[in-house]
A = this chain, B = another copy of it.
């Protein structure tokens, strides 16, 4: 069991060791630092995070509950494997959830929030230009999250983040082998539709954004990526 390097993360004053461990592991999985099928151990991660096992155990309970990791029958903990069919389910679910979330956010968005979303979209392009795919992934998520959390009563974000997390490891492989992951997007259409407060158009733009973005990987492409990572 070799723990990959975990991307560093700021630890604010007063943040508990458990919260820090959880945030750091979650981030690592989200940006593809762990490959599908990778085994992890409590003590190995505790060492990498420079903590005792207790906070790591609790973080692992959380990570398994949100689909980022998986407890096996033999009690081992692994990064879930993914098949092309499951990838397709993840994309379809992402489309269902995010178009639903976008619809229900439209009525709540202020002009200021829309300008904020535009700024985030610009930052995605900066990151792409810079060649930093993980940062582009994070910025892309911030773009989507800022739209959906405009709805003050939304409860869908934890579900969406869980789907994003489950896509992390395969996207990590893709980021190593594909250079234009976030070039195609429909963010402009989404922003135009937000300005018009047109729920249908927003939902359609978000769905198209996902379908034509990472959803463009068909089953053959996913199988190829998985083979590359074996």
Q: Are B58 and A89 in contact (CB under 8 A)?
A: no
CA distance A102 to B65 in the complex (A): 23
- Interface residues of A, dominant DSSP: helix
What is the 8 Å Cβ interface bit string for chain A, positions 48-70, against chain B (1 contact, 0 not)?
00000000011101101111000
A58 to B166 Cα, complex, angstroms: 22
Q: Which residues of chain B are near A154, meaning CB under 8 Å? A: 89
Given the interface pairs A58-B57, A86-B155, A153-B83, the reply to whether A92 lies near B104 with Cβ below 8 Å is yes
Instruction: Let me know if A184 is at the binding interface, CB within 8 A.
Output: no
Question: Is A185 on the interface with B (CB-CB < 8 A)?
Answer: no
B92 adjacent to A100 (CB under 8 Å): yes
0/1 per residue, A94-108, Cβ < 8 Å to B?
001100100010000
Report the contact-size class of chain A (Cβ under 8 Å from the partner).
20 to 34
Give 28 CB contacts A-B under 8 Å: A58-B58, A58-B61, A59-B61, A61-B61, A61-B62, A62-B64, A62-B65, A65-B65, A65-B66, A67-B155, A83-B153, A86-B153, A89-B104, A89-B151, A89-B153, A89-B154, A89-B155, A90-B155, A92-B104, A93-B100, A93-B155, A93-B159, A96-B96, A96-B97, A97-B159, A155-B166, A158-B162, A159-B159
